[in-house]
Amino acid sequence: MANHYSVAQSAQGVLETNKVLKNTYLLLAATLGFSAVTAMLSMALAMPSWVYLVSVIGAMVLGIFVLPRTAQSAAGVGMIFLITGMLGFGLGSILSMYLALPNGPGIIATAFGGTAVIFLGLSGYALMSKTDFSFMGGFLFAGMMVVFVAMLANIFFSMPALSLAISGAIIMLMSGFILFDTSRIKSGAETNYIMATYGIYLSIFNIFISLLQILGIMSDD
């Protein structure tokens, strides 16, 4: 009897995990689509580049102080659309800058395709792997702290080599976060699909921006 109970409990846990995973990917697809719409709107309105910084700071404040409080309710869905919409709007102003470069459309397309391949490859790997990547948490958070300090220094020193190194480090850390976040959903450690979507969305967004910067610098445009 106890064995039957354990099997039923385990099956229920798997179903719950699959539900979180499915909802996360559905919401992720919807928020990425919404970001693309707001990015196109921003490009159509020819927003200046400082809009990116304002949007990122605004989205960050909402993500830190408002989203965690609303994530357990339906308001959380609206909040994540607001945050990702703002990030997309900011991204549009950066894309306008890249489109003005001689090889700009090619760089954007390569960064977009590259981000999609990295995300799909890593998510697939994390879902298929037997390894629980939550052990990477300490390393990833330590890495982020180091990157933030380097970013802080680079705001005032503006060194291209440091920018390149930071972008490379962000791609590696965000790749690690995709493994980490996907693994946490798979193992049932993350049960809130809104927060799970937010984490994976930020990883994708940061990989895209960093890849755009690396390809922009390395293409000599």
Partner 1 sequence: MELFLKIAAAAAIIMLLFYMWPAFRTWQENGPKAEKGDWQAALLPLAAVVGFVVFLILMVR
Binding site for partner 1 (CB under 8 A): 50, 53-54, 56-57, 60, 64, 103, 106-107, 110-111, 114, 117-118, 121-122, 125, 129, 131-138, 140-142, 144-145, 148-149, 151-152, 155-156, 158, 168, 171-172, 175-176, 179, 211, 214-215, 218-220
| Nearest distance in Å: CB 5, partner 1 | 27
| Nearest distance in Å: CB 113, partner 1 | 8
| Nearest distance in Å: CB 162, partner 1 | 14
Whether the CB-CB separation of 178 and 200 falls below 8 Å is answered with yes
- Picking from 68, 83, 170, 81, the residue whose alpha carbon sits closest to that of residue 118 is 170
Rank residues 44 and 148 by Cβ distance to partner 1 and give the closer one: 148
Rank residues 7 and 218 by Cβ distance to partner 1 and give the closer one: 218
Rank residues 180 and 193 by Cβ distance to partner 1 and give the closer one: 180
